[in-house]
Structure 1
Amino acid sequence: MLSRTGLALLAGVLLAQAFEPVGLVVLLPVGIMGLALAVRGLPARRAWLPGLAFGLGFHLVLLFWMRVVGYDAWLALAGLQAAFHAPLGVLAAWVMRLRGGPVWFAAAWVAVETVRSSWPFSGMPWGRLAYATGDTLWQDALPWVGMTGLSFLLALLGALAAEVVARTGRARVVAAAVAGGVAVVSLVPALTAYPVPTVGDRQVAVVQGDVPGDGSDILLDHRQVTRNHVEATVALAGDVRAGRAPAPDFVVWPENSTAVDPFRTADVNAAIRSASDAIGVPVLVGAMVDSGPENVLNQSIVWEPGVGATDRYTKWHPVPFGEYIPWRGVFQENFGRLALIPRDMLSGTREEPIVLGDTPVAAAICFDVAYDDGIHAQLLRGGQLVVVQTSNAMFIHTNQIDQQFEISRLRAVETGRHVLVAATNGVSGVIAPDGEVVARAGTRTQAVLQEQVSLATGITPAVRLGAWPGRVAVVATLVAAAWSVLTYRRPRPGEGVDDELGRADRDGRPDLQRA
């Protein structure tokens, strides 16, 4: 059991290296293979331990950037996410007894990935397998099958690789042939890009104003942050008038471009108005807006020249214990650091795209980009472009900014749309529908990115499918696990596992009697 647990722990660490900043994508199926081997043939009462070890190895490494909030916060978040892999180990051990075990293993992976991405407190989607596929042929499957579908394919490849390792004789040959076939099929979308029709283009400007000090504290001098964005926009207006820069159709500022309510703070309101009037086009401002004495809203506000604020989007997925405190009466009295969050941020529910000038835009604020729901809802209702406003200053010296930007790139591929990313001090960029970064600002710098982007009207199959693949995986996994439990019988002497990793019998038969 010790060797299985060690194998699972190592597999989790290897899987984390498939994500930014290392980006060794070849380790995706290797990590999954290690987990499948570690739990293969184990009884449920023991399979949870390798599952938990895998989760710890994976999330402690993947989420190491959380340490800047506090090592206790890093351990708590990584531990919570790792805990989901304990039942995954049990489910995998059950369903791998069935015929087509690798398919059921992949379904179990996606089921757990779906649950932890939505629960508790709206979940934490970081670490979905699909989020490591940037700049690979696998990413081309995203418009067709979405993030969930691609995670399923990758988990299936890993489980099939485990079958190749675990089996012998003819059974190994068959498993290798199936694995090769699935690998080929998974790359077919690279030959046929999903066609997304366009209806024109827009000239856009993305402003990264920068953050004072070492760049890690957005509140150190938040008024200077606002001034930085105002000054950069006014300077752009001067360049446009002088003929040194093309006139944009709209300008995008990042999340927290004002950390105070612009409707209640006269000088901030005036500054934003001056920038909008100078450039003469709508400016999308990221602002903290009061919502009573106990609550606050994180909003994207369309600021029209000569008019003021018009349209708004409110962040769908505030961060628990970072932007609001669940069960505040219990936690705030016992954890002094939570006193830094005096008000709870409320969640938005808007499904209609916001309108920038005459352009319907699907908006996302910071971690919203990692969730499917808000972006998909806005695209299904006419969004022609995706805008991500983010304030990652706290994580500017960590790998979090690279991981989040990679997710934004994959959103472009999945949706078939240009994605504009505006960050306070990094990473800001303009991303083409094929995932190519056509413009990128350096971190901890002030920059204005100007590009011409296309407007898309088509809806990819991935967006149409929405949450259904994940829901189907959850139901299918529960049914398969129940069937395995109800029909399983212990192997008779001579039918069991012939070594600790659960290899097949010497004649190539499965190591456990199938139902």
Structure 2
Amino acid sequence: MSATITPVDASGPDTAPTPVSRLRRFVRPGAALLSGFLLFLSFPPRPLWWLALPAFALLGWTLRGRRLRAGFGLGYLAGLGFLLPLLVWTGEEVGAGPWLALAAVEALFVAAAGLGIAAVSRLPWWPFFAAGVWILAEGARARVPFGGFPWGKVAFGQADGLFLPLAAVGGTPVLGFAVALCGFGLYEAYRRFRAWRATGAVPRGPLAAAALSVLVPVTGALAALPLVDDSAEDGTATVAAVQGNVPRLGLDFNAQRRAVLDNHVARTRELAQAVKEGREPQPDFVLWPENSSDIDPYANADAADVIDGAVRAIGVPTVIGAVVTPETGKLRNTLIEWDPERGPVATYDKRHVQPFGEYIPMRSFVRIFNSNVDRVARDFGAGTKVGVFDLAGTKVGLATCYEAAFDWAVRDTVTHGAQLITVPSNNATFGRSEMTYQQLAMSRVRAVEHSRSVVVPVTSGVSAIIRPDGEIVAQTKMFTPDVLVEKVPLRSSQTPATRLGTLPEALLAVLAAAGLGWATARAVRARRTPAA
């Protein structure tokens, strides 16, 4: 008598993937994308700064305990969820290719942060190490490649936030660290709460880590409030910011360079008439935007004459944004101090020119993918000197447009004596996108970081005047000719952030490196320990 053995069907109902199990595979990738998108929503023009906290809490849940490869992939998805919508303006006039390429490259830094956060997530006090890793990745993104691209630093979404005073303590790195730490801490607190519900007990160490991850940044922000001071240490100055507007949107606005110049001349003359009639106060100085004269006034006598006439009409020093075109060599994006009696008396050449905008790296290679690179027919060169103009006795620090995103470019002006900062900008290339609001938020953070009034004259909007506490006291509408005239406080004292410079960022990088080193040592020890 023989027995028949019936093999078990491996594809039977007990082992076959169910629709639910299939969907579970997409939960963490979906959460990673959502965390990045929530971070995007926390940025201006939306006043939703607090969304950065659930964004980091969700990212913490997504990455905690993951393998390094999974951390990298999930981090990359978070980066795309954040940067694709944040940077969509970069394709406003040149198509989707440059936008997608930029977001894809910059998301690699978020992917690296995801890998690092996954690595440190099993450590005690992991939220502190994870926040340090995030800031380390931001620091790298702000420096490489091509001088870096710090747009989208977490700090730049916090101009209306609870943590903003921390910018005066340690600049954008400390502000961003506090936001990330609080978000990770909220997730850890939730995780410990669930553990308590399940077991009735929570170890004191992990509970303290969760509590302090939330309490330290909140308490620090409250303690830093006295640093946010908008009193007038050195008196006040009445400043005028001119927004002349451009004839049309897009890359071809420069085709009507004379119209742009004439617009700014006309607004300045209108201001002079309003002052004469007593409708506006006499400004101490006037600020024009970047590219307000794309006709070189040194090479074109007609441009120089109309500028000189407008400056003489208003009767005070005026800063002109010009493109200077030497016969040989590279172009210069230059700010010119124009005196009503002596004409041009000082210049500042933009020190951090924009790659793929003001100059084209790897031109022949990039042309393969996008012929728009040839619109930049002649590259701009970078200046070397820090920009501080003495305008009627007020020392005004100069950071031209893109430079406002770089910590060093703004700080240099304050350490060289600036009592007020101006950020002349040209956003006409990016249409009615969110770019101008994102850049304005940077200037608000810089105001608190260095305790200085900040004036942002823009060709097409939004121009604004900001007090040292980050409050906007006057602003224009997009693509609307206008002039802002306001009395602002002047200050000369330096905040801890100004005095410390890159030291806080370096210390946070050391924290991140310590966490990564500890996690690596634990992993090596675990591999060498034989299984029981």
TM-score, length of structure 2 as denominator length: 0.88
Q: Distance in 2 between matches of 1:410 and 1:346?
A: 28
- Structure label with greater radius of gyration: 2
Between the aligned partners of 1:440 and 1:302, the Cα distance in structure 2 is 23
Q: Cα RMSD between the aligned structures?
A: 2.2
Mapped partners of 2:495, 2:298: distance in 1:
38
**After superposition, what is the alpha-carbon deviation per residue over 1:437-474, rounded to whole angstroms, capped at 9, x for unaligned?**
11112221111111111211101111112222223333
| 1:9-408 correspondence runs (5 A) | 9-68=33-92, 69-167=94-192, 168-169=195-196, 170-171=202-203, 173-189=207-223, 191-195=225-229, 198-214=233-249, 217-332=252-367, 335-351=370-386, 353-408=388-443
Q: Distance in 1 between matches of 2:250 and 2:68?
A: 48
Give the secondary structure class of the aligned counterpart of 1:383.
Answer: coil
CA distance in 1, matches of 2:260, 2:390: 25
The structure-2 alpha-carbon separation of the partners of 1:204 and 1:322, relative to structure 1 and needing over 3 Å to count, comes to: same
CA distance in 2, matches of 1:173, 1:145: 27
- 1:469 — aligned with what? 504
AA of the residue aligned to 2:46: V
CA distance in 2, matches of 1:179, 1:329: 49
Contact 1:396 1:426 in 2 (8 A): no
Task: Indicate the SS of the match to 1:423.
Answer: coil
- Please give the secondary structure, in 1, of the residue aligned with 2:483: strand
Q: Could you say which residue in structure 1 is the equivalent of 2:32?
A: 8
Shift in CA distance, 304/433, structure 1 to aligned 2, threshold 3 Å:
same
Give the Cα–Cα distance (whole angstroms) in 2 for the partners of residues 82 and 291 of structure 1: 38
Q: Is the 8 A contact 1:297 1:314 kept in 2?
A: yes
Q: How far, CA to CA, are the matches of 2:223 and 2:322 in structure 1?
A: 40
| Kept after mapping to 2: 8 A contact 1:299/1:314 | yes
Structure 2 unaligned spans of 5+: 1-24, 197-201
% identical equivalent positions: 38
Partner deviation per Cα, 1:250-276 (whole Å, 9 max, x = no partner): 111001101121111121111111111
User: 2:351 & 2:526 partners in 1: Cα distance?
Assistant: 48
Q: Matched residues in 2 for 1:336 and 1:492: separation?
A: 55
Rounded to whole Å, the distance in 2 between the matches of 1:20 and 1:359 is 31
AA partner of residue 188 (structure 1): L
Provide TM-score, normalisation by structure 1.
0.91
SS in 1 for 2:90: helix
Unaligned runs of 5+ in 1: 496-515
Q: In 2 relative to 1, CA 136–89 (structure 1 residues): closer, same or farther, beyond 3 Å? A: closer
How far apart are the structure 1 equivalents of 2:362 and 2:336? 30
Task: Tell me whether 205-214 or 178-187 shows the greater mean CA deviation.
Answer: 178-187
Q: Is the 8 A contact 1:202 1:454 kept in 2?
A: yes
Q: State the distance in 1 between where 2:387 and 2:333 align.
A: 17
Secondary structure of the 1:355 match is: strand
Q: Distance in 1 between matches of 2:467 and 2:48?
A: 23
Query: Distance in 2 between the 1:13 and 1:42 partners?
Result: 21
Q: 1:437 and 1:164 mapped to 2: Cα distance?
A: 36
Measured against aligned partners, the alpha-carbon deviations of 1:33-75 in whole angstroms (never above 9, x if no partner) come to: 2222212112213221101111111101111222203211110
Partner of 2:17: none
Preserved contact between residue 215 and residue 425 of structure 1 (Cα < 8 Å):
no
Q: Judge conservation of contact 1:23–1:132 (CA < 8 Å) in 2.
A: no
Deviation at 1:240? 2.2
